[in-house]
Chains A and B, each alone.
Chain A
Amino acid sequence: MTPLLKVNDISKFYGSRVGCRNVSFELWPGEVLAIVGESGSGKTTLLSCISTRLMPTSGTVEYHMRDGQYRDLARMGEAERRFLMRTDWGFVHQNPADGLRMTVSAGANVGERLMAIGDRHYGKIRETAIDWLQRVEIDESRIDDQPRAFSGGMRQRLQIARNLVTSPRLVFMDEPTGGLDVSVQARLLDLVRSLVHDLGLSAIIVTHDLAVARLLSHRMMVMKDGVVIEQGLTDRVLDDPREPYTQLLVSSILQV
């Protein structure tokens, strides 16, 4: 097996300030990686650099294309990069309004990627949309409603459906459960976990919530001040944290 994504020595500086520094890792097919750390630790910067939403100051990100070649994302043309982003990748934003078209119906939201890659059969697009709404537990009767009429949890599930409809191989998630209440969070996590498992997705999840990391991820990286200070299997890092900062983080989880 070969890694899906190779991140080599990525650094991002905002002027003299550090976004993230010298991050390297490999992501394997079917693997879920969590990036955890406190606010301002560079998690989102790192995610943006990997997903080409930001240009890293130095370092490269190589992606294993469907044709078996590794390609440096920074050297890809914009057309090719955008095509990759809307077919082979998904991006789930913390705020669903950033990832959804709030003024078109749920069905069109799910169907947009299909139409973008050339599907021109209304009936089939709609069928696929219904199928995906059911998979994310949204009632079929809501297909013609706009996401504005949806609750926060439903919006987030719709956003996930919209991203997964083209069967991507890699999904980025930025705080996917932020802003949701606990019971909705639990349902969403359960859903994401089963989808990731059923579809064999690879995912990179940025979160400050260690419980999310525990539930979803196989492996995790702990960041502080833009640097990865500890990484390893999720259970290992959470049960036996080595770095003092990670110990602090783990011990700060509220126990009920």
Chain B
Amino acid sequence: MRDNVPETTGLATYNFAYLDEQTKRMIRRAILKAIAIPGYQVPFASREMPMPYGWGTGGVQVTAAILGPDDVLKVIDQGADDTTNAVSIRAFFQKVAHVAVTTKTREATIIQTRHRIPEGKLTEGQTLVYQVPIPEPLRFLEPRETETRKMHALEEYGLMHVKLYEDIARNGHIATTYAYPVKVEGRYVMDPSPTPKFDNPKMHRSEALQLFGAGREKRIYAVPPFTDVVSLDFEDHPFEVQKFDKPCALCGAENVYLDEVVLDDKGGRMFVCSDTDHCEDRREHGHAGHMLANKEAAE
């Protein structure tokens, strides 16, 4: 890879995409294994990255391992392209790999994400890389790693429903709203990382390859394209996604995931698309929500 980098790029101290080639090879092996066994957590020798744990060290390593010079990278944090985490990871790869970056979902070949799946439909050839804090869906119910591994191996997933049962018993409905457990290809129960459960249906038979990296926990798992991803539920309490009363205040989009923005200290608030690219795209195409209209009228 190093040969591909022009000498004028100032990359002399780093290998392409920061990690050395042996490390990338090790991670690629783990990724291949993960793709071969959808939903299975593959252990890998996670490296220290020049950012703290919790900032997406797992996702960054996966991205670094699959990134090529021709890729176009998009990084989102809670759906937004312009928050600290997204900006710094994007800048990191610009610096160490000189890849093209974008904020447009359609143009990206690799999208690294923290806790959202873009609203626009992902297509064949795109790869979504998730940053995962705790890969083990059974962890908060069963603290022993030896035991959870055995439970995965023997497909003993009754405990996962115990959690959902507790939700209903306490709140009258399944109150888990993020990191909602899914069953992949009828076999492994998987934590879809802390994405809102709103995004769970988008994982089902997605055309894009989905890779999950957990740096601190040293696990990689994957959902290959066109794989069944089914959210767990009860027959009399079926899985449901969040619903919002109002459309996005800026672009008027409905059936998208909205963020609440506090406007002042008098109770003013607005709900806007969490996916900033989707929102901008719609506004460029002439869609307008009620707050946007107000703003223009004021000007």
Contacts and interface: CB of A to CB of B under 8 A. Distances in A.
A107 B169 contact: yes
Interface residues of B, number: 21
Given A121-B235, A121-B236, A123-B236, A113 B158 contact: yes
A104 B165 CA distance: 9
A108 B166 contact: yes
Given A105-B166, A144-B170, A120 B154 contact: no
A172 B230 CA distance: 38
Contacts of B169: 105, 107-108, 126, 143-144
Interface in A94-128: 101, 104-105, 107-108, 111-113, 115-117, 120-123, 125-126
A129 B166 CA distance: 13
A79 interface: yes
B161 interface: yes
Contact of B234 (A107, A116, A122): A122
A116 B159 CA distance: 7
Contacts of A123: 236
B170 A111 contact: no
Contact of B161 (A78, A101, A115): A115
Contacts of A78: 150, 154
B262 interface: no
A126 B161 CA distance: 13
Interface string B144-165: 0000001000111111011101
16 contacts: A78-B150, A79-B154, A79-B155, A101-B141, A104-B162, A104-B163, A111-B165, A112-B159, A112-B162, A115-B158, A117-B158, A120-B234, A120-B235, A121-B235, A125-B165, A144-B169
Interface of A: 78-79, 82, 101, 104-105, 107-108, 111-113, 115-117, 120-123, 125-126, 143-144
Which 8 A-B pairs have CB atoms at the shortest separation, nearest pair first?
A: A116-B158, A115-B161, A122-B234, A115-B158, A79-B154, A121-B235, A108-B165, A108-B162
